[in-house]
Amino acid sequence: MKISRWFFSLIWMGLTGCQNTKQIVAETEEPLFQQGQQFLNENRPEEAFKVFQNLLERRNGESPNTHFELGQLCLSVRRDPIFAIYHFRQHLVQDPDSKVAHMVLQMIETAKKEFARTLPLSDHYNESPEYLNLIEVLKQVRAENNQLKSKLAQLKNKATKAEISTAHTMVVQTNEEIHNSHVERTYVVQSEDTLSKISLKMYGSAVKWKVIFDANQDILSSPNGLKIGMKLRIPALKE
């Protein structure tokens, strides 16, 4: 009897010891997240979409960076503005201090405009239940978006003047970079950058990453060859 209790005690200690040493993997270090980034760099957006969705289910939806990637794919590849807005909202809710919060809000506005373009203009259709349901969805999205803006404004008020100044500079620079897409520029690679993210920053679209890759093949052996501090040539987009 004593031997049996001792034996089961050892098993229990071993199991609890394994549980205590188990560590939670950071979202961006998840193999699925890195595989999704790889697919984006290889211009395989549909495969990236499936991988990011699998990661979202695995982490029970608690994945702000994954929501951001899915939002971009829904908006620019799948042309699904409603789900794009949903993923962007989840990104802001889960990461209110997100470095790309202002960009995400702009993308939400873009998605709302894209959604509005899908609505038929005939008077007969305007009276249909389908149209009325879409209008209700749009109203709800607008209200939720205003709530997010309010939360971000409250966070700004709590920030220091230096932080506000830095955030403003980043937004101004981002807007200028997007508007100057027809002028050749230089970009310095930062931490966690990918070609698709750089394309989004410089061109306002994540799908133009290959333009950057083709222009820098003298220093990039592959789309995954980015290194922090590397200076990339950002070609001007043709009219």
CATH 3.10.350.10 residue ranges in the chain? Answer: 180-239
Using the predicted structure, report yes or no on whether residue 71 has a pLDDT greater than 50: yes
Of the pLDDT bands very low, low, confident and very high (cuts 50, 70, 90), residue 82 is confident
Looking at the structure, give the CATH architecture of the domain made up of residues 27-158: Alpha Horseshoe (1.25)
Using the predicted structure, report yes or no on whether residue 72 has a pLDDT greater than 90: yes
Q: Tell me the per-residue pLDDT of 14-26, one tens digit each, with 9 for 90 and over.
A: 544 444 444 578 8
Look up residue 60 and give its two tokens: 């029970």
Of the pLDDT bands very low, low, confident and very high (cuts 50, 70, 90), residue 3 is very low
Which whole number is the average pLDDT over 117-129? Answer: 57
Q: What DSSP letter does each residue of the chain carry, written as one string?
A: -HHHHHHHHHHHHHHHHHHHH--PPPGGGSHHHHHHHHHHHTT-HHHHHHHHHHHHHHTTT--HHHHHHHHHHHHHTS--HHHHHHHHHHHHHH-TT-TTHHHHHHHHHHHHHHHHHTS---HHHHTSHHHHHHHHHHHHHHHHHHHHHHHHHHHHHHS-HHHHHHHHHHHHHHHHHHHTTTS-EEEE--TT--HHHHHHHHHS-GGGHHHHHHHTTTT-SSTT---TT-EEEEPPPP-
Q: Tell me the per-residue pLDDT of 189-217, one tens digit each, with 9 for 90 and over.
A: 998 888 888 888 888 777 788 889 999 99
Residue 187's DSSP bridge partners are: 232
Domain at 180-239, CATH class: alpha beta
CATH 1.25.40.10 residue ranges in the chain? Answer: 27-158
Question: Quick check: pTM over 0.85?
Answer: no
Using the predicted structure, report yes or no on whether residue 223 has a pLDDT greater than 90: no
Using the predicted structure, report yes or no on whether residue 155 has a pLDDT greater than 80: no
